[in-house]
Amino acid sequence: MDPHLASSSAPRRRLEVLLLMRAGKGPRALARRLTLSGYDVDLTDDAQRAVSLFYEKGGHAACVLGEGPAPGATDTVVRTLRGIDGTLPVVAHPEVIAHLQSAEGVVALAPYHLYSRAGISGVVRSLRALLG
């Protein structure tokens, strides 16, 4: 068998994305859309749980920050995850970035409402651009 054919037909591993944002209908719709777009998604509104999930999964391909957790808790998560994986892509809504002290290198999403159709599509596009 041609080795090039074998490698190209191998199933691609689904990339894991960590969503840190308030619980509710909007975040669940975002998680569902990301799942349909080929990502494995962990959704939590708890900063400590976000770090625990990161350890349990052996890391994530990216982290998306939304409204909900206190800015100080979100900062702690960003610093902790970046301390473990300095190359971790972090994307966030501009309003969330405005409250971060550790916003360096955080990619700003388009300023749509995060859970609107345009906002959800923007998250998918941003992750595709960052992760390939």
Of the pLDDT bands very low, low, confident and very high (cuts 50, 70, 90), residue 15 is: very high
Q: What is the pLDDT of residue 4?
A: 47
pLDDT in tens, 105-118: 899 999 999 999 99
Structural domains in the chain plus CATH codes = 14-131 (3.40.50.280)
Tell me the CA distances in angstroms from 12 to 38, 40, 113, one per residue in order. Answer: 10, 12, 31
pTM over 0.75: yes
Q: What is the pLDDT of residue 13?
A: 65
pLDDT in tens, 66-90: 988 887 889 899 999 999 999 999 9
pLDDT at 54 over 80: yes
CA angle in degrees (0–180, nearest 5) for 121-83-103 = 50
Q: What is the pLDDT of residue 23?
A: 86
Chain mean pLDDT for the chain? 88
